[in-house]
Amino acid sequence: MPAAVRLFYALWPDAAARDAIAVLARDVERRCGGRAPRPENAHLTLAFVGEVAPDRVEALAAIGAAAADAGAPFALKLDRLGGFRDAGIAWLGAERAPAALGALVRRLSDELAANQFRVERRPFAAHVTLARKCRAPPSRERVAAVTWRVDALTLVASQPAAGGSRYHTLAEWTLGPAP
């Protein structure tokens, strides 16, 4: 068993949104240099937890289940291209994040902090990475919206690998109270 696993909570686009994101990623890769992630890796990170001892994964699953239960499905619209210049990352983001997304992120952050897990100090910025190691990430610009219905939250393990990280879903919860 590994000494630690690298974990994060994420939202995964449906097939149509994933395909649209892949088209944008290839365009950004061509215009800005860098490397686009594999299309199946497209996701929106809600909370990056980092390296965690295996015996703490169960606590993270309980946090995820509670956050999903308190949440509700929502439409996510990503319509803004931009970049993190210092990191060389191009992204697709939301001009206006839905309130349900903000509530889900706050719930996760509050519960992570209450359980002594790492919590991001920077304000949350809803985005999907389009390319890494860009020579010059794109300036902020509007793009045709990529929209999908978010109805599940996942806990994901990330393993570094040649050609990009490999992601494994450890748990997935439907948003909203159980029937």
Domain that holds residue 167: 5-174
Phi–psi pair at 132, nearest 5 degrees: -115, 160
Tell me if 179 is assigned to some domain. no
Q: How does pLDDT run across 96-140, given as a tens digit for each residue?
A: 999 999 999 999 999 999 999 989 888 999 999 999 999 887 888
Tell me if 153 is assigned to some domain. yes
Quote the percentage of the chain above a pLDDT of 90: 80
pLDDT band at 90 (very low <50, low <70, confident <90, very high): very high
Phi–psi pair at 57, nearest 5 degrees: -65, -35
Model-level pTM?
0.93
Dist. CA 168–CA 58, nearest whole Å: 16
Tell me if 93 is assigned to some domain. yes
Q: Determine the average pLDDT of the residues in 42-64.
A: 96
Q: With beta carbons less than 8 A apart as the criterion, state whether 11 and 93 touch.
A: no
Tell me if 97 is assigned to some domain. yes
Residue 20 in this model has a pLDDT that exceeds 90: yes
List CB contacts of 179: < 8 A, sequence separation 6 or more.
none
Phi-psi region at 131: left, alpha or beta (left = phi > 0; alpha = psi -120 to 50): beta
Residue 2 in this model has a pLDDT that exceeds 70: no
Q: With beta carbons less than 8 A apart as the criterion, state whether 85 and 53 touch.
A: no
Tell me if 100 is assigned to some domain. yes
Find the length of the chain: 179
Phi–psi pair at 78, nearest 5 degrees: -105, 120
Residue 35 belongs to domain with CATH number: 3.90.1140.10
Tell me if 118 is assigned to some domain. yes
Tell me if 103 is assigned to some domain. yes
Q: Which whole-number Å values give the CA distances from 145 to 17, 28, 51, 73, 138, in the listed order? A: 10, 15, 34, 19, 17
- Total number of domains in the chain: 1
pLDDT for residue 1: 52
Tell me if 123 is assigned to some domain. yes
